Amino acid sequence: MAARSSVRLVDLDPAQLRPLLAEALGVYVAAMHYPPGTVQQRSPMWMEHMLRADWHSVGAFDDERLVGITYGYHGASGQWWHDEVRRGLTGVDPAVAARWLDDYFELTELHVHPDWQGRGTGVAMLRRLLSTVDAPRVLLSTPEGPTRALRLYRRLGFTDLLRQYRFAGDPRPFAVLGRDLPL
C-alpha cells in the first residue's frame, strides 16, 4: 500500500457532524469490528449526545473522506455512563467516585478507520479534542485486552479507575480510565 498524506483535523459542531453521521458511524463499525447493523442502532444515541452540555467533536479527513472521529461532553448525574461508573467506583471507594465524577469531560468515542490506525491519527484527534475542554479531568471506558486503544491511553498518562468492569447490558469487560487535564 502506498504511503498516504497526513490527515486534516477539523473541529465539528453538531450541524457539521449530522450530514457525516453515517460515514462517522462507518468508521466506528470498522474500527470496533461491529456488524453493519450497528450503524442504525447507534445513530439515535450519537444524535442525542450532540445535545449534551459542552459537546465537542473532531474529525480526521484524508482529502474529503472521514477516517477518524472523536467526541465527548461534560459528564453529569443522570447520564447512563456516569451513573454506571458511579455505581462501580462507589463499590470500590466512595471518595474516589466523588473526586473523579464531580466535574469531568467524558471521552465518549474515539475511533480511527483500520487503514489509518498506527499512524498517530488517534493521538492527534485526542490532543485536539481535549485542548478545547474546560474540565479538570477526562474519563473514558474501553474494552479490556491488549488493544491499540488501551496502549494509546496508557502512553498519554491515563490511569485505571476500574478494571474488568461490566456495564449493565454488555457482557464484555471494560477498563474505566481517567486523567487530569490538561493533557
Nearest one of 110, 138, 105 to 122, comparing CA atoms? 110
> Residue 45 CB: number of other CB atoms within 10 A?
10
How many helices (H) and strands (E) are present in the chain, helices listed first? 7, 7
Query: Which set of grid coordinates corresponds to residue 20?
Result: 457525516
- Show the DSSP H helices in the chain as ranges: 14-17, 21-32, 38-49, 80-92, 94-101, 121-130, 148-155
User: Given 28, 73, 153, 165, which residue is catalytic?
Assistant: 153
28 in Cβ contact with 42 (< 8 Å): yes
Query: Which set of grid coordinates corresponds to residue 97?
Result: 467516585
Catalytic residue check, 34? no
Query: Which set of grid coordinates corresponds to residue 167?
Result: 456495564
Nearest one of 115, 164, 116, 119 to 142, comparing CA atoms? 164
Active-site positions read: 153
